[in-house]
Amino acid sequence: MKNILKQASSLILPITVLILVPRSIESNFNFSLNIVSAIGLALVLAGLIILCINISTFIRFGKGTLAPWSPTKKLVVRGMYAHVRNPMITGVLTVLLGESLLFHSKNIFTWFVLFFIINYVYFILSEEPGLEKRFGAEYLEYKRNVPRWIPRLKPWIPEEESPS
């Protein structure tokens, strides 16, 4: 039961960023069926899939959650994390961009840009130094081989996991 509560509490951040903030900054959710809305809906669905896959990866392989109060116990370097260091933020940004298109909202688009800037600064000043302290040389090697934002095409596999 405690584990389920811990995992459920980790949804506070995505719910706040993807639902509560957009709802508080946009009062007029225009929706009309057109190509822009269709692209927006496709992006929302794609972003949610990315988030679900990464949350599952954190739980199964990292033995933790995406929430700072329940971090992973192991460095996760598989799945989407073998291509890019921040796929969770990629998923969130994809949903936010999709919401801005789906609802034709400049306010949500502004939140999308602001959210990226906040996370860019946060990752450089806090998240990455914290991961360096927690995981040491293992994280530094990962950081050297996997880009922060733009995914590498071929997944990175640490030497100890490489097939011989």
Which residue segments constitute the domains of the chain, with CATH numbers given?
21-153 (1.20.120.1630)
What local confidence, expressed as pLDDT, does residue 78 receive?
93
Rounded CA gap, 97 and 110, in Å?
Answer: 10
Each residue of 3-58: pLDDT tens digit? 666 556 667 888 899 999 999 999 888 778 899 999 999 999 999 999 999 988 88
Residue 62 · residue 74 · CB < 8 Å: yes
Residue 102: Cβ-neighbour burial (10 angstroms; 0-12, 13-18, 19+): buried
